[in-house]
Amino acid sequence: MSIPTSNLGGLTVSAQGLGCMGMSQSYGKGDWDESIAVIHRAIDLGVTLLDTANIYGVGHNEVLVGRALVGRRDEVQLATKFGIDLSLGWNDRRTHGTHAYVKKACEDSLVRLGVEHIDLYYMHRPPEDAEIEETVGAMAELVDEGKVLHLGLSEVDDAQLRRAVAVHPIAAVQSEYSIFTRDPETTVLPAMREHDVGLVPFSPLGRGFLTGTLDRSSLPSSDFRANNPRFVGEAGDANERIAAAVVDLAERKGVPAAQVALAWVQAQAPRLGVSVVPIPGTKRTKWLEQNVGAFDVAFADDELATLDGLGEQTQGARY
């Protein structure tokens, strides 16, 4: 099939991207060769927006993605991020955004990726040690230097986005968004509409919860979902009902639940009034191919209404 394209602030990308984080952390052990094969298969299928970050696997993920792109760099749009510091541990993480930090972070990412420029460079989280104007100003200098083509922000609110675009145009905001995570609709959407900023949803499958294939009891300790508030205890049990509703609709349509969950996200652009380019993550070729198949799923109005109502039932914090 042919994957459609979408526009993120002047950057043309495939209408579905590939989140590469899980190849290096958070979802159990990854395999280098298999991950490379997944990236190559994604490009072959027309998935051209690849998403990584300097913190994923403490640099490992950028190196992996860069190696996968040897000889294929011109076929993709490469996105990475800076700003999160886990040197003191997850419970004491810091977020940086000083001018000097941004410039050095970009240089380091270019080396790990083995490329001359980054197509979409994100501030991973609002910085604690700088005003957002300083951070975006440094990012804008990277554009002027040709090291970055477009700028993005992750997990920002309406006011922060407005302050950022006063310094330099922003192509995309990346935030968690799925059938059971709707936060961007109330926290940042007005500014996105006003400034023509696209939405890049991460975890569009609810970190796998909405696929109907997840056995929460079997998650290894190396999988962060084993202790995630939405996956454990009473909240986890309540959220199983959301997943069951997605599975029920999927069975009636004769498609995998993951495709229903992903197709719902992809169908939100007209309602939200912004471009929507989800980046489902996987380290397995079979799930990549299944995700791409979501473009073949369409909904009747009553089916969309059923899925729309599930978000109000979500229990538990995101982290």
Burial class (CB in 10 A: 0-12, 13-18, 19+), 17: buried
Check which CATH number belongs to the domain holding 20 and give it. Answer: 3.20.20.100
Cβ 99 vs Cβ 130: under 8 Å: yes
pLDDT digit string, tens, across residues 167-210: 999 999 999 999 989 999 999 999 999 999 999 999 999 888 89
Number of domains in the chain: 1
318 is a domain residue: no
Q: What residue numbers bound the domain in which 118 lies?
A: 5-313
Look at residue 237 in the predicted model and tell me its pLDDT.
78
146: CB partners within 8 A, 6+ apart:
117
123 is a domain residue: yes
| Selection from 88, 93, 94, 102 nearest residue 132 by Cα | 102
234 is a domain residue: yes
Round the average pLDDT of the chain to a whole number and report it: 93
Look at residue 225 in the predicted model and tell me its pLDDT.
80
Least confident of 30-39, 75-84, 266-275: 30-39
State the Cα–Cα distance between residues 54 and 154, nearest whole angstrom.
Answer: 14
319 is a domain residue: no
56 is catalytic: yes
| Selection from 75, 72, 54, 73 nearest residue 63 by Cα | 54
| Selection from 161, 125, 168, 163 nearest residue 144 by Cα | 168
Count of other CB atoms within 10 angstroms of residue 314: 19
Name the active-site residue from 56, 101, 121, 177: 56
The two three-digit tokens of residue 174, written as one number: 């990346």
pTM of the model: 0.94
88: CB partners within 8 A, 6+ apart:
94
